[in-house]
Amino acid sequence: MKTGQATKWVHWQERIVVLLLFVSASISVVTTLAIAISLGVEAIGFFREVPLIRFLTEREWTPLFATKKFGILPLVCGTFLVAGIAMIVAVPFGIFIATYLAEYASERTRRLLKPVIEVLAGIPSVLYGYFALLFVTPLLQKFIPSLSGFNALSPGIVLAFMVLPTIASLSEDIIYAVPQSIREASLALGATKLQTVFRAVLPAAASGIIAACLLGFSRAIGETMLVTIAAGQRPILTLNPLEEVQTMTAYIVTVSLGDVPHGSLEYRTIFAVGLTLFLISLVFNLFGLFLRERFIRTFQRLG
Amino acid sequence: MELIAAEVEPKAVARKRKREIWMERLFLALTWVMLFLTVSVLLAILGKLFSDGLTRINWQFLTSFPSRRPEAAGIFPAWVGTIYVMALTAAIALPLGVGAAIYLEEFASRNWFTRLVELNISNLAGIPAVIYGLLGLQVFVRWFRMGESVLAGACTLAIMSLPVIIVASREALRAVPNSIREAALALGATKWQTVKDHVLPLALPGILTGTILALSRAIGEAAPLVTIGALTFVAFLPKSPFDPFTVLPIQAYNWVSRPQPEFHRNAAAALIVLLALLLLMNSIAIYLRNRYQQKWRL
C-alpha cells in the first residue's frame, strides 16, 4: 500500500516536472511572439497616423520637430553606411584570419591567438564607443581635416573589430569542418597548399563563410551604443562617411533617453523603427542560418 | 600536343612554382599584418582607457553619487545597480535556461514543436539587444506595470541572455555520457530522478560557466536598459527590486556624451571598474571549468 502511494507520488512529481520543463522551453517561442506583438501593436498605432507610403518614401526623418517628416530612409541609410564600412574591413580580416588559423597556424599559435580575438567580442560596446569618439576620430582628423567630430567612418572602423570575432570564429569552424578528403584530393592532383586552400577548401566552405558574414552583418546593424556615441544623432540622408549620421538603433536610444510620454506619436516612432530593424535583421539571420544548415547537410552526406 | 609540351618545359614550370611561393608568402604576410592590426586595436583600446581613467579611481569615486561637478562625482549607485541587476537576472535566467535545456536534451521527442523551439533559439540569439529593450519597455514596464525598475531591467536582460544559456547548457548536458543515464535507469530510477540526481550535477560546472559568460555579455550591454528607461542620474541606492536604478555602462555613456574632458575621465574610470567586474566573472567561469571539468574514461 505504502509503496503504491509512493510510486503514485513519484509518478505525479514526474508529470509536474516535465510540464514545468516544457513551459521553460516554450518561453523562447513566447519571446518571439511577444517581440512581434509588442512591436506590432505600437507600430500599427504609428501607421494609422502616418501612412506606410510616407514612411517608406519621404526623405527626411524629423518626428521630434514642429514640421514632422517620417521618412525612414535616412536612418536605414545611416545604419547601412556604418555597417557597410565595418564589413569592408571585417570580411577580408575575418576570412583571412580564419583561413590562417584553420589551415596554416600551428596548434600553439592557434591557442595563443584565438583568446585574443575572442576578447574583442567581450568588450562592452560603450567602451568601443569611447574609443571611437575620443581616440579614432581625433586620429583620423589628423589625416582627413574635413572629418566632423561625429561621423560614420570612425565607428564603422571600430565596429569592424567588434564583429570580427563573430565572422572569424564562425568561418574557422566552417573551414575546419570541410572534409579532409577534399584537401587530399587536391594535393594528390599536384596542387600546392595555397592552391588547395584557395581553389578547393574555400570554395567548398563558401556557403558557410557567407553565412558567417551575414550573421556578422546582422550583428553590425544591431549594434547600438558604439554608433550612438560616435556616429552622432542627426539623421542626414548621405553616403558620405565623413559626415554625421544617425542609425536606427541610435534613434531608439536617443528617444528613450528623453522624456517621451507613453502613447504619443513620438513614443510610437521608436517601435516603428524597431520593427524595421527587427525585420531587416531577421532576414539576414534566417538567410545566414539557412546557408549554414545547407553547408552542414552537404558535408554530412559526403561523410 | 603543344599544350602538354609547354607544361613540361622546365623553365615555365620553375617560373610558375616561383610565383606560387611568392603568392603564399604574400598571403601569409597579409594575414600577419591583419593579426597585428587586430591586436594593436585591442592594445590601443586598453591603453587609451587606462591612461585616461586609472588615476581617477579612488575611494571617493567608488562611494560617491553622481554630481554636476566631475571631480565630486562617483559611481556608487552605478556599481551597486549593476550587481543588483546582475544577481536578479541570474536568478531569473538560470532556472528557465537550464529547464529549457533539460527539456530539449532529455525529454523532448523529435517533432515539429522541438524543431520550432530550436529554430527560435538560434534566431533569438541574433536579434539586436535594443529590440529586447523595446520588448522590455512594452511588456515588463507597461503591461506588467513594473515601471523603470531593477526587476524590469533584470527580466529584460534575462530574456536576452536565455538563448545563450540554453545553448551552453545543452552542450554541457550532451557531454554527460549515456552510460550514466543507463546505469541510473537500470536501477529503477525514473527519468526525472536520473536527470536530477546524476546528469544535472555532472553537467553543472559546464552550465554555470556558460551562464556566467552569458551574464557578463548581458551586463556590459547598455542598450536594452537605456531603452526600458533606466535613469542616467541616480542620487540614491535601489533598495527593493521595484526601485529605479542605473548601471555602470549607462553611467559611462552619460559621461562620455558630455563635452567636458573631466567627465570623459570619469567615464574611463567607470569603464575600468566595469572591465574589472567582467574580468572577475570570467575568471570565476574559467576556474569552474578547469576545476570541475570531467575527463570521461569509457
Same domain, A77 and A131: yes
CA distance B43 to A40: 43
- Which 3 state secondary structure label does DSSP give A233? coil
Rounded average pLDDT over B206-223? 90
Same domain, A107 and A172: yes
Cell matching residue A39: 512591436
- CA triple A108-A113-A116, angle to 5 deg: 140
Same domain, A10 and A148: no
Structural domain includes residue A60: no
Alpha helices (H) along chain B: 2-8, 10-53, 59-63, 76-102, 112-124, 129-136, 150-174, 178-186, 191-194, 200-219, 223-228, 248-256, 261-292
* Inter-chain CB proximity B20 and A192 less than 8 Å: yes
Same domain, A237 and A159: yes
Same domain, A242 and A205: yes
Cell matching residue B186: 537500470
Band the pLDDT of B104: cuts 50, 70, 90. Answer: very high
Put simply, the chain B residues between 63 and 92 with a CB less than 8 A from any chain A CB are none
Q: Please give the pLDDT value at position B1.
A: 46
A265-276: pLDDT as tens digits:
888 999 999 999
* Inter-chain CB proximity A126 and B253 less than 8 Å: yes
A52-94: pLDDT as tens digits:
889 998 888 888 887 888 899 999 999 999 999 999 999 999 9
Q: Which helix (H) or strand (E) holds A225?
A: helix A225-230
Structural domain includes residue A110: yes
Same domain, A20 and A118: no
Contacts of A145 (CB under 8 A, 6+ apart): none
CA distance B159 to B129: 10
CA distance A229 to A279: 24
Cell matching residue A145: 581635416
What average pLDDT does the structure give for chain B?
Answer: 90
Q: Please give the pLDDT value at position B5.
A: 52
Q: Please give the pLDDT value at position B297.
A: 57
Cell matching residue A110: 592557434
Instruction: Decide if B199 contacts B180 (C-beta within 8 A).
Output: yes
* Inter-chain CB proximity A25 and B108 less than 8 Å: yes
Band the pLDDT of A27: cuts 50, 70, 90. Answer: very high
Query: A61 pairs with which residues across the strands?
Result: A70
B156-170: pLDDT as tens digits:
999 999 999 999 999
Residues of B in contact with A221 (CB under 8 A): 128
* Inter-chain CB proximity A25 and B100 less than 8 Å: yes
- CA triple A17-A22-A28, angle to 5 deg: 140
CA distance B253 to B256: 5
Structural domain includes residue A177: yes
Chain B residue with the nearest C-alpha to that of A227:
B223
A197-251: pLDDT as tens digits:
999 999 999 999 999 999 999 999 999 999 999 998 888 888 889 999 999 999 9
* Inter-chain CB proximity B30 and A96 less than 8 Å: yes
Question: Which pTM value belongs to this model?
Answer: 0.91
Q: How many contacts, defined by CB atoms under 8 Å, are there between A and B? A: 247
Q: Which domain holds residue A28?
A: 2-49
Predicted ipTM of the assembly: 0.91
Same domain, A184 and A90: yes
A162-181: pLDDT as tens digits:
999 999 999 999 998 899 99
CATH number of A169's domain: 1.10.3720.10
Band the pLDDT of B83: cuts 50, 70, 90. Answer: very high
Same domain, A146 and A217: yes
Of A3 and B242, which is predicted with more confidence? B242
Query: A70 pairs with which residues across the strands?
Result: A61
Is residue B2 over pLDDT 60? no
* Inter-chain CB proximity A93 and B38 less than 8 Å: yes
Same domain, A218 and A96: yes
Structural domain includes residue A202: yes
CA distance B104 to B178: 16
Same domain, A11 and A117: no
Structural domain includes residue A66: no
Structural domain includes residue A59: no
Same domain, A110 and A25: no
The percent of residues above 70 in pLDDT, for chain B, comes to 95
Is residue B225 over pLDDT 90? yes
Q: Which residue has the cell 563573430?
A: A166
Same domain, A38 and A78: no
Report the domain count for chain A. Answer: 2
Structural domain includes residue A21: yes
Instruction: Decide if A201 contacts A130 (C-beta within 8 A).
Output: no
Residues of B in contact with A13 (CB under 8 A): 192
B14 interfaces chain A, CB cutoff of 8 Å: no
